[in-house]
């Protein structure tokens, strides 16, 4: 955990006080809507279909049990008893009253959390691997650098009015769990000889015009991180398009000027500032590193007897197979908590579940919780001997669905049930799909599969990078869905391809099932995953069968 | 449904003016008395472009009680407005999915 300093805390409470004043002036009519709207957006407050929505930032997806309880309390006191975890590693409350928002924000600020910079054309919450600081794959904890970026970008005077919003993601592991190639800037920490540095990727993004990010530098020594980011932002800030909101993201600029030319401009700008005030030395890193409290791990053995015994229970074994990952410290494990129970809205958690997870984190996981972009939670540091008891208690909370990484672990945006921009609903479709694919043996047989659903082209549900992507469109006021295949959001990012005309709300679940059946019939064997089969076979056999029954 | 905020004003049938209440975001409808009601059945129903423009102008006049007013096509039953499409039905009835502890 990172511990905020006095400056951060004072800043947060002043910011809430300002917002309280702004809300009062809006309600009294002193501020009009045009004046107020940018102020509320700056604090993460949106107006949805039937209420205000508060988006709360969870810096690099790390939460303490104490902060989780603060979220539960806000859900209970100011909302309708639940919250929605999103693909941006943050949480949204859907029903808070404007007049009560300052009180809710005060409670959150007391726990060190807020909605600042979750909206507006600024540098957003830097996202990272939910397994950061726990996975044996990483060379260093990437959150250190996420925090360096946060301190630099928060209220950076030059970058609060960018052409568009700006999102940075960072990973230090080979397996990309942070989707770095679909962010404005993606950073991959790696080593060259004794030196640590970053591969720098720019211009990725989803939405209306999706692009996979391009590498503009293979290796940037870490001490230059901020000057190089600053150079990229300057090139974007001066050359990005402000004339057209659909062309204002950096991805369009990179596409229009070309990767090489963009890289050249960045290097040119960087040459001016690389050895200036932004140069980072070890002392600067140490200062931030010191404020991260890492758990005092107990020395334990791998695969303890209690675990071996518990694995004889097939239900536990099934959950263990897809929810538990290896940890860098012997005797420990990383646990993914599925927020995708069959038939429920993906990513939702009730106040009771949030409190329950906080208690489990305290009892079994050194008090730490992460939010993953797949809309699940992670307990990053669990003692292996505690896994059976943790599983029993998660199950009692309705949080032990054994489907992590499988077909019913669906990502879905809020869609037309909440979002004023939607063309079609996402959540009910996700629910019907999880019901269709409810049998644990069948979904284990289908194996690794990501279905991602967005209710409109803004792509909050990341449909472009779903193995099966589903996009809601509208035809004559009816809900229709386009289906894409072959997308991937990992270290081999690829955008999915459309299989054909959109299908109606009635047909779409059957279409998905026919695609899955085609895979099961044609796969080279159980070890060939869906995505590998799509790559080998191409779209044709899937297309043919998907539309066959029409 | 394409967001009405992105659509041009074109009147294709009975239309009511709707918005979100400033203080809590609740969906409200403009009544013939130019007040806001939570019940769509209370909505003033316009059928000509001029009527819609007049209602909209008064709805947008102060934005102190309600914000983001726009014209929504409605169905009419016994002289009262009802939602004419899924989007407005969700605004009136709430999400089509159970949520919170009801889920
Ligand atoms: C329901 C209220 C929401 C509203 C009103 C909203 C608004 C928007 C808008 C206007 C865009 C598109 C244009 C742009 O700015 O690039 C967008 C994009 C995006 N939103 Fe949302 N959003 C909502 C919910 C969410 C949720 C729940 C998530 C995460 C699960 C999310 C994550 C994203 C992402 C990742 C993009 C960017 C796609 C890209 O890379 O271009 N949003 N959102
Ligand atoms: S993808 Fe569209 S419908 Fe879904 S949350 Fe984003 S803006 Fe709303």
Q: Is residue A280 located within the same domain as residue A336?
A: no
Condensed to tens digits (0 to 9), the pLDDT of residues A171-194 reads: 999 888 888 998 999 999 999 998
- Report which of residues A378 and A372 the model is more confident about: A378
Measured between beta carbons, which residues in chain A are less than 8 angstroms from residue B26?
Answer: 50-51
Question: Within a domain: residue A60?
Answer: yes
Mean pLDDT score, A355-372: 94
User: Nearest Cβ partner of A350 from B27, B90, B101?
Assistant: B101
Condensed to tens digits (0 to 9), the pLDDT of residues A256-270 reads: 999 999 999 999 999
Mean pLDDT score, A393-407: 96
* Phi and psi, residue A222, nearest 5°: -60, -30
Question: Within a domain: residue A505?
Answer: yes
Question: Within a domain: residue A40?
Answer: yes
Using the Cβ of B99 and the Cβ atoms of chain A, whether some distance falls under 8 Å is answered with: yes
Q: Is residue A244 located within the same domain as residue A164?
A: yes
Ligand 2 nearest atom to the CA of residue A419, by list position? 8
Condensed to tens digits (0 to 9), the pLDDT of residues A278-298 reads: 888 888 889 888 888 788 898
Question: Within a domain: residue A312?
Answer: yes
Q: Which residue of A has its CA nearest to B24?
A: A97
Test B26 with A50 for CB contact under 8 angstroms: yes
As a whole number of angstroms, the distance between CA A533 and CA A16 comes to 52
Per-residue b or e along B53-70, where b marks 16 or more CB atoms closer than 10 Å to that residue's CB: eebbeebbeebeebbbbb
- For residue A40 and ligand 1, the question of a CB distance below 6 A is answered with no
Using the Cβ of B91 and the Cβ atoms of chain A, whether some distance falls under 8 Å is answered with: yes
The reported pLDDT for the residue numbered A294 is: 83
Per-residue b or e along B84-96, where b marks 16 or more CB atoms closer than 10 Å to that residue's CB: bbbbbebbbebbe
- For residue A457 and ligand 2, the question of a CB distance below 6 A is answered with no
pLDDT at A117 over 80: no
- For residue A412 and ligand 2, the question of a CB distance below 6 A is answered with no
Q: Is residue A89 located within the same domain as residue A151?
A: no
3-state secondary structure A106-128: HHHHHCCCECCCCCCCCECCCEE
Q: What is the reported pTM?
A: 0.86
- For residue A46 and ligand 1, the question of a CB distance below 6 A is answered with yes
The reported pLDDT for the residue numbered A289 is: 87
- DSSP category for residue A475: E
- Report CA(A24)–ligand 2 centroid distance (Å): 30
Least confident of A154-158, B67-71, B83-87: A154-158
The reported pLDDT for the residue numbered B1 is: 45
Q: Is residue A154 located within the same domain as residue A279?
A: yes
Question: Within a domain: residue A294?
Answer: no
Overall number of domains in chain A: 4
As a whole number of angstroms, the distance between CA A252 and CA A248 comes to 7
Calculate the alpha carbon distances from A545 to A244, A519, A521 in Å. 41, 10, 11
Closest CA to B2 of A86, A469, A421, A231: A421
pLDDT at A163 over 90: no
Last residue of a domain, one of A348, A368, A396: A396
Structure tokens at A238: 């001066």
Least confident of A195-199, A241-245, A480-484: A241-245
What percent of chain A has a predicted confidence (pLDDT) above 90?
Answer: 68
Question: Within a domain: residue A163?
Answer: yes
pLDDT at A96 over 80: yes
Test B99 with A345 for CB contact under 8 angstroms: yes
Question: Within a domain: residue A510?
Answer: yes
Q: Is residue A186 located within the same domain as residue A324?
A: no
Q: Is residue A316 located within the same domain as residue A428?
A: no
Ligand nearest to the CA of A479: 2
Question: Within a domain: residue A298?
Answer: no
pLDDT at A516 over 70: yes
Calculate the alpha carbon distances from A406 to A339, A388, A437, A448 in Å. 13, 21, 10, 5
- For residue A422 and ligand 2, the question of a CB distance below 6 A is answered with yes
- Domain hosting residue A39, numbered range: 6-110
Q: Is residue A333 located within the same domain as residue A426?
A: no
CATH number, residue A228: 3.30.413.10
Q: Where are the beta strands (DSSP E) in A273-367?
A: 324-326, 332-337, 348-350
The reported pLDDT for the residue numbered A116 is: 67
pLDDT-derived band at A80, boundaries 50, 70, 90 = very high
Q: Is residue A146 located within the same domain as residue A283?
A: yes
pLDDT at B84 over 90: yes
As a whole number of angstroms, the distance between CA B45 and CA B72 comes to 10
Mean pLDDT score, A162-172: 84
The reported pLDDT for the residue numbered A121 is: 67
Domain ranges of chain B: 15-87
Test A97 with B87 for CB contact under 8 angstroms: no
As a whole number of angstroms, the distance between CA A67 and CA A78 comes to 16
Q: What is the rounded average pLDDT for all residues in chain A?
A: 90
Complex-level ipTM beyond the 0.90 threshold? no
Determine which of B24, B60, B89 to mutate to test the interface with A (most A C-beta atoms within 10 Å).
Answer: B24
- Report which of residues A90 and A162 the model is more confident about: A90
Measured between beta carbons, which residues in chain A are less than 8 angstroms from residue B85?
Answer: 477
pLDDT at B9 over 80: no
Which residues, including other chains, have CB under 8 Å from residue A514's CB and lie 6 or more apart? Answer: A545, A546, A548, A549
What is the maximal distance between C-alpha atoms in chain A? 68
pLDDT at B3 over 70: no
Q: Is residue A261 located within the same domain as residue A321?
A: no
């Amino acid at each position: 955990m990172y511990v905020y300093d006095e400056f951060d805390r004072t800043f947060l409470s002043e910011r809430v006080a300002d917002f309280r004043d702004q809300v009062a002036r809006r309600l009294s009519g002193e501020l009009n809507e045009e004046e107020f709207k940018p102020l509320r957006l700056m604090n993460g407050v949106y107006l949805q279909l039937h209420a205000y929505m508060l988006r709360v930032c969870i810096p690099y997806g790390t939460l303490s049990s104490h902060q989780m309880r603060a979220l539960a309390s806000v859900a209970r006191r100011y909302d309708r008893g639940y919250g929605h975890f999103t693909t941006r590693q943050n949480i949204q409350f859907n029903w808070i009253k404007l007049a009560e928002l300052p009180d809710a924000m005060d409670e959150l600020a007391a726990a060190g959390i807020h909605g600042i910079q979750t909206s507006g054309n600024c540098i957003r919450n830097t996202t990272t691997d939910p397994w950061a600081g726990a996975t044996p794959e990483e060379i260093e904890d990437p959150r250190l650098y996420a925090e360096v970026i946060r301190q630099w970008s928060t209220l950076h005077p030059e970058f609060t009015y960018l052409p568009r919003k700006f999102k940075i993601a960072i990973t230090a592991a080979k397996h990309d769990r942070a989707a770095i190639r679909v962010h404005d800037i993606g950073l991959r920490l790696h080593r060259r000889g004794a030196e640590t540095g970053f591969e720098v990727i720019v211009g990725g993004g989803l939405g209306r015009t999706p692009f996979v990010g391009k590498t503009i530098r293979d290796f940037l020594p870490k001490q230059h991180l901020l000057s190089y980011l600053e150079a990229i932002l300057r090139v974007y800030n001066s050359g990005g398009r402000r004339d057209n909101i659909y062309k204002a993201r950096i991805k369009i600029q990179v596409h229009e000027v070309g990767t090489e030319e963009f890289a050249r401009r960045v290097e040119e700008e960087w040459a001016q500032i690389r050895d200036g005030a932004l140069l980072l030395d070890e002392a600067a890193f140490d200062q931030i590193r010191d404020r991260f409290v890492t758990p005092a791990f107990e020395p334990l053995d791998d695969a303890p007897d209690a675990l071996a015994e518990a694995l004889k229970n097939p239900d536990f074994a099934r959950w263990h197979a897809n929810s538990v990952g290896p940890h860098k410290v012997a005797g420990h494990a990383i646990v993914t908590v599925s927020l995708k129970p069959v038939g429920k809205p993906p990513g939702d958690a009730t106040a009771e579940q949030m409190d329950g997870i906080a208690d489990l984190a305290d009892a079994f996981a050194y008090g730490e919780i992460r939010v993953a972009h797949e809309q699940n939670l992670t307990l990053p540091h669990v003692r292996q001997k505690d896994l059976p008891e943790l599983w029993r208690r998660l199950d009692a909370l309705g949080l032990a669905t054994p489907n992590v990484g499988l077909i019913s672990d669906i990502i879905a945006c809020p869609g037309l049930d909440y979002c004023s921009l939607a063309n079609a609903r996402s959540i009910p479709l996700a629910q019907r799909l999880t019901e269709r694919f409810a049998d644990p043996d069948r979904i284990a047989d289908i194996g690794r599969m990501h279905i991602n659903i967005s209710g409109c082209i803004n792509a909050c549900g990341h449909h472009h990078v779903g193995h099966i992507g589903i996009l809601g469109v509208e035809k004559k006021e009816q809900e229709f869905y386009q289906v894409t295949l072959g997308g991937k959001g990992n270290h081999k990012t690829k955008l999915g391809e459309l299989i054909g005309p959109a299908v109606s709300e009635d047909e779409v679940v059957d279409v998905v099932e026919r695609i899955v059946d085609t895979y099961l019939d044609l796969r080279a064997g159980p070890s060939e995953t869906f995505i590998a089969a799509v790559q080998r076979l191409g779209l044709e056999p899937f297309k043919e069968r998907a539309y066959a029954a029409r | 449904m394409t967001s009405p905020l992105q659509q041009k004003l074109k009147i294709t049938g009975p239309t009511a003016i709707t918005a979100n209440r400033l203080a809590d975001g609740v969906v409200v409808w403009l009544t013939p008395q130019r007040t806001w009601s939570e019940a769509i059945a209370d909505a003033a129903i316009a059928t000509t472009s001029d009527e819609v423009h007049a209602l909209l102008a008064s709805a947008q006049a102060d934005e102190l009680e309600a914000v983001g007013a726009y014209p929504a096509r409605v169905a009419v039953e016994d002289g009262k407005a009802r939602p004419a499409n899924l989007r407005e039905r969700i605004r009136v009835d709430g999400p089509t999915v159970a949520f919170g502890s009801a889920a």
